[in-house]
Structure 1
C-alpha cells in the first residue's frame, strides 16, 4: 500500500515538470541585455546606402521596445537571438557586432551594398549557425576559411555578388548605357573567389549541407576535382547551384553518390560532356540547368522522360541536338528551354494534345529555338 502514495507523488511531480516545459513556449520572449547591446551596436555601425551612396543612418529598430520583437530578429525562449534577417535593406557599413550573437542559427544579409571583403569577419564565432545567406550583397575577394568552421551549416548561399557591381557600373555611366561584361575587369565579373582556401578546403567540414549556392563565385583555381570532391564530401546535398564558376568538365560519374540531389544548376561552365551514367544521376532530379556548357552531340532523350523532372534548360549549347520523344500523359516536365540548340523531328502529338500543357514559342524543326512547356 505504501507504493500507491509514492506513485501518486511521482505522477504529480512529472505532471508539474511537463507543465513547466510546455509553458516555456508560452512565455513572452525578453531580450537579454548583452544581446540587445550587440544589436544596438550593429544598428549604429550600419547605414542606408542605395546605389552605393551614403543616405542616412540605419534606424530600423525602436530602442524603446524589446529587441526580440524588432523586425528581422528572432529569439528563443531564453532571450538569445537565434535569427537575424536584414536582407534587401540597402544597407552598408560594418557588421562586426553580429559575431557577438553566439547563439545565432540563421543569418541573412542578402541583397545589400556592403562593397567589402569578408576576411575580417569572425564567422568562426557563430558555431551554431545552420543557415548563412550573403548573396547579392557586393562582397568581393577571397572567401574566408572561417566559413569552413561552420560545421552545422545546412544552407550556404554566397551567390550573385556580380549583380550589384553591374548595377553600380550602370549607375555611374553618364549616358546610362549598358556595359558589356567582356569590358568589365575580371574581378568584377566574379567578385568572390576561392583560391586559398580552395573549394575543397571550404567544403571539407560542411558535411551537413543540403543546399549550396555559389553561382558567380570564381572556383577556377584548382577546380579540376571539384566534381569528385563534392560527391565525396556533401553526401546530404539536395540543391547544388554553381553556375558561371569557371568549373572544368567533364562531369564526373561519382555525382551518382549524391542520393538526395534534386536540383542541379551548372550553366555557364565548360562542362563539354556528360558521364555515361548521367541518366542514373539525373533520375532523381526535379530541375536541371546545363545552359551554355559547350555540350555537343545528342542529348539523352531518356532524361526528358524521367518521371520527376519538371524543368530542363539546355539553351546556348550550339552544337547540341535534342530529339523529342513521345511524352506520356504522366510526364511532370513543364519547362524545357532549347534556345540556341538544335532539335530534331516533329513536335509529338502528346505535347500538343495534353490539356494541361501549351506551347508558348516554337521555331521550325532543326532550327535554334526557344521551346517552353508551361503549366497553364
Structure 2
C-alpha cells in the first residue's frame, strides 16, 4: 500500500505531466494550424492575381472555416498539407504569383494550358519536394534566370513547353544537374545553339536518367549533340527533335541504340538514307518502333538494311528526296503497322510482296509508282484500313484489286490517270465502315453511283473532276463532305431533302449541268459551312429556309439563273465570310443588311446581275472586306467616300475574320480514318476581272484585295478617300459616267497591279504621282477627256498606246503625238528620278537579278526552321502570286521597246 505522502506526490507529478503534455499539444496544434493557414493564404494570393472567366476557382473562398483541401484542383496528404495542385485547362488569365513558392510540401504542380503572362517566379525554387512540374503552354511566359530550377533535386518530370528560355543561357547546365529527371519536354522554348564547354556536372553525365527528351520546335543546331549524347547511358527511349535547324545527326550505335522512338521531321538534314539505315542496323539490341523523319532532306534509296530494324512499327519518311525502288524487305518487317513514303521520287511497280506486309496504314502518294499488283496477291491485304495512292500511275484501268481490301476505312486513288468505269459491286464492298473516299481528278465515267450505303458518320466523298453523268439519286446522311464538282451530272438537286439530322458540312456540286430550283428544305443543314452550286443551270428564287444555315461560311451560286431580290432571311447567316452570287439575274437594291449583319465578309461578289440603286454606305462597315465586286449591274449615284473604312484594304497583310483560315480552308481533318490525316477539301475561289480578262482565282484569293465597280451608271468624282486604300491590288472603275480629275495623290496606292478607269468622262492630266506606282502591270485610261503630257516614267511609257486612246488632248510617249515644244519625244526624269532609274535597271537587268535575289531570300527563309515551316504552308498560295508577278515582269520587258 502506497504511503499517503508518496501518493500525493505521485498524483501531483501526474497532473503536472498531463498539463505539460496538453500545453505541448496545444503548441503543436497552433503551429500546424498556422502552417496550414500559410498554404491557404498562398493559394488565395495566387488566385487574386488571376482572371477566372469560367469560375473554375469558385470553390477557393476566404471563409474562415473553409478547408483548402476541398478546393477544386487541390489535393492534400494525411497531415493536411497541399501536395498536389492541378489547375490546367481552365482558361485562367493573369500572372503566376510568387506565393506558390510557399507550398513547400508540393509534389506535383500543373498549370498547363492557361493564358498566363510575365516571368515564372524564382520562388518556384523553394518547392524542393517537387517530383512533377508541368508549365506547358501556360501563355506568354518567359524565364530570364533558370537557376531556381537547379534546387528541385527530386524532380522527375519537367514540362515547360511554350515558355521562352531565350535569355536562360545556362539551361543546359541546370538541366544536367537534375539527377532524377526522366521526362523533359521543352517544345517551342526558343532554344538556340548549345554553348560549350559545359559545367562539371554536365561532364559527369549527372542527367543520364532522362528517358524521354522533347526539344521540338526550337532553333537548335547540331551543336547540341555533344550534350545529347552525354545523356544517353542506355536509358534514353524517346527523342523528339522535330522542327529545329539540325543539318545532320551523327549516328553512333552506342549512343542511340536504346531508342524506341525517334522524331526528326522538319529539319534541313541532308542525310543519305542508306548510310543512316546502315548505322542504325549495327545496333545489336535495337528496339526502334517509331521513326518519323518527314519533311526533311533525306536522299538516296530505301535500302535492304531496313529489314534489320525488325522492331519498326511506324515509319514516316514523306516529303523527302528518296528515289529508286522500294526495298522488298520493307514488306517483310514483322511489326510494321503504318508507313508513309508519300511525296518522294520512288519509282517502279508496286511490289506484289505488298501482300506480305502487316501494315494497316499504307501511304505512297505522289510518287511515280506504276503497275498494279495482281488480284491473287491481294488476299493477304484484307487487314488494310487506310490506303493512300494519290498521284501515282495506277491507270488507265480501274484497280480492281482494291475490292479485296474488305476492311478499308480510308481510300485515296485520286489523280491516277484512270479512264474507266467503276465496277458496280465496288460500292458493296464495305459494310457501313468507309469514312474517306477520294477518286477525284481522274477520268472515271458512268452514272453517279448510289451513295446512300457503306459510309460511317462524318464521312468524306470526293468524286470531283471526273466524267460522271446522270442524276444524283441518293446520298447517305452520314456524309460530312460531298464533292461532286466538275463532272457531267444533270438533273435536279431534290436529293438534298433526304438529309435529316445529318452531318453535312461541305457540299460542292459546281461546274455540272444541274437544273431546277434550290429546294426549300435547307433547315436540315444545321452544320453546313460551305455550299457551292456555281456554274450550273439552276434557277428560281432563293428559298426562305436559307435562314437556317447559321454556320454557313461560304455561299457560291455564281453562273446560274437565280432571280429575284436577295431574301431578307439571308441576313441570318451571320457566319458568312465569302458570298459569290455573280452572273445570275438577281435584282433590286443592294441590301443594306449586307453591311449591317454580315460583318465577317471578306469577299462580296454580286457582279453581272440586275441590281440597281445606289451603293449602300453600310458596305463601308465591313472591316474584313478584301474583295468587292459590284460590276455589270445598273447601279447609279456616287462612289461612297467612306470606302477607306475598309480596314483590310488599308492595313498590310491578310486580315481574316475569326472563323476563316487564310488562303485555304480545311473544313474536315481530324474526323477522317486516322488522326494524322489532314486533307484540304476546299479552296476558296472567285471569278475576278483581272487585267481585262475574267480569271478564276484559287489559292491566292486571300492575297487579292480588289474593288470592281465597272460597267454601271455611277456618276460624280472619284473620291480622294479611295487613294487611302494602300493595300489595294486591283481597282476597276471603267465604263461608268465619272467626271472630274484623277485624284492627284493616286500614286500613294503603290501596291496597285491593275488600274482601269477607262470609258468615263474624266478630265485633266495624268497625275505625276503615278510615277510611284512601280508595280503597275495593267493600266487603261482610254476614252476619257484627259489632256496634257503623259508623265515621264519607265512605267507609264511601257503600256501600249491603245491604253491611252480616246483622249485627244494627251501627248508624249508612248503616243506618237508630240507635245508642244518637243523636237523628239524623249523620256524625261520624273520627280523621283532615283526610283525611276532603279526600276529602269530592274526591268532591263531584272531577269538575272530578280532570280538571284529571290532565291537568296528564299534560301535564307528555308534555313530558318520557323520560316521554312511558314514557307511551305504559304507556298501553294504564293505560287499563283509569283505567276502574276512574273507575267507582269515579262510584259514590262516586252513593252520596253516603247521606251
Is 1:216 aligned to residue 216 of structure 2? no
* 1-structure distance, mates of 2:673, 2:306: 15
Per the alignment, residue 67 of structure 1 pairs with 68
* 2-structure distance, mates of 1:139, 1:304: 46
Distance 1:265 1:142, change over 3 A: farther
Deviation readout 1:46-99 (Å, 9 max, x if unpaired) = 213xxxxxx477634243653223322222222222222111111122222222
Per the alignment, residue 126 of structure 1 pairs with 127
1:215–1:241 CA contact under 8 A, matched in 2: no
More strand by share: 2
Per the alignment, residue 241 of structure 2 pairs with 242
Per the alignment, residue 343 of structure 2 pairs with 340
The SS at the match of 1:269 is: coil
1:89–1:111 CA contact under 8 A, matched in 2: yes
2:248–2:270 CA contact under 8 A, matched in 1: yes
* 1-structure distance, mates of 2:119, 2:302: 41
Instruction: Report deviation, 1:124.
Output: 1.8
- Between the two proteins, the alignment pairs up a number of residues equal to 305
Per the alignment, residue 173 of structure 1 pairs with none
1:283–1:303 CA contact under 8 A, matched in 2: no
2:238–2:259 CA contact under 8 A, matched in 1: yes
* 2-structure distance, mates of 1:133, 1:79: 23
Per the alignment, residue 289 of structure 1 pairs with 292
1:218–1:245 CA contact under 8 A, matched in 2: no
Per the alignment, residue 50 of structure 2 pairs with 46
Per the alignment, residue 92 of structure 2 pairs with 91
Distance 1:206 1:322, change over 3 A: farther
* 2-structure distance, mates of 1:101, 1:297: 56
1:326–1:349 CA contact under 8 A, matched in 2: no
* 2-structure distance, mates of 1:37, 1:201: 34
The TM-score, its normalising length taken from structure 2, stands at 0.31
Per the alignment, residue 225 of structure 1 pairs with 223
- More off after superposition, 105-114 vs 345-354: 345-354
* 2-structure distance, mates of 1:361, 1:129: 47
2:222–2:249 CA contact under 8 A, matched in 1: no
The SS at the match of 1:115 is: strand
Deviation readout 1:250-290 (Å, 9 max, x if unpaired) = 21334743565322223222233275523356932232222
Greater length-normalized contact order (CA 8 Å, ≥ 6 residues apart): 1
Q: List alignment gaps of at least 5 residues for structure 1.
A: 1-30, 49-54, 162-190
Instruction: Report deviation, 1:365.
Output: 5.4
1:324–1:343 CA contact under 8 A, matched in 2: no
Instruction: Report deviation, 1:114.
Output: 1.2
The SS at the match of 1:42 is: helix
Instruction: Report deviation, 1:45.
Output: 2.0
2:116–2:141 CA contact under 8 A, matched in 1: no
Distance 1:286 1:58, change over 3 A: same
Instruction: Report deviation, 1:113.
Output: 0.9
Distance 1:317 1:260, change over 3 A: same
Per the alignment, residue 355 of structure 2 pairs with 349
Distance 1:244 1:330, change over 3 A: closer
2:301–2:324 CA contact under 8 A, matched in 1: yes
The SS at the match of 1:93 is: strand
Per the alignment, residue 111 of structure 1 pairs with 113
The SS at the match of 1:240 is: strand
Distance 1:327 1:216, change over 3 A: same
Instruction: Report deviation, 1:200.
Output: 2.7
Distance 1:327 1:269, change over 3 A: closer
Instruction: Report deviation, 1:229.
Output: 0.9
2:100–2:123 CA contact under 8 A, matched in 1: no
Per the alignment, residue 201 of structure 1 pairs with 173
* 2-structure distance, mates of 1:320, 1:137: 43
Per the alignment, residue 250 of structure 2 pairs with 252
RMSD value over aligned CA atoms?
A: 3.7
2:300–2:321 CA contact under 8 A, matched in 1: no
The TM-score, its normalising length taken from structure 1, stands at 0.67
Distance 1:66 1:362, change over 3 A: farther
* 2-structure distance, mates of 1:304, 1:364: 27
* 1-structure distance, mates of 2:186, 2:303: 27
2:91–2:113 CA contact under 8 A, matched in 1: yes
Distance 1:366 1:83, change over 3 A: farther
* 2-structure distance, mates of 1:205, 1:255: 25
2:304–2:329 CA contact under 8 A, matched in 1: no
Distance 1:83 1:323, change over 3 A: farther
Instruction: Report deviation, 1:232.
Output: 0.8
Deviation readout 1:284-310 (Å, 9 max, x if unpaired) = 223222222322222455447634333
Instruction: Report deviation, 1:196.
Output: 3.8
Is 1:78 aligned to residue 79 of structure 2? yes
Per the alignment, residue 20 of structure 1 pairs with none
2:95–2:117 CA contact under 8 A, matched in 1: no
Per the alignment, residue 138 of structure 1 pairs with 139
1:227–1:255 CA contact under 8 A, matched in 2: no
Per the alignment, residue 723 of structure 2 pairs with none
Instruction: Report deviation, 1:355.
Output: 4.2
* 1-structure distance, mates of 2:325, 2:124: 46
* 2-structure distance, mates of 1:300, 1:327: 9
- More off after superposition, 86-95 vs 143-152: 143-152
Per the alignment, residue 153 of structure 1 pairs with 155
Per the alignment, residue 359 of structure 1 pairs with 386
* 1-structure distance, mates of 2:264, 2:144: 20
Per the alignment, residue 172 of structure 1 pairs with none
Instruction: Report deviation, 1:359.
Output: 3.3
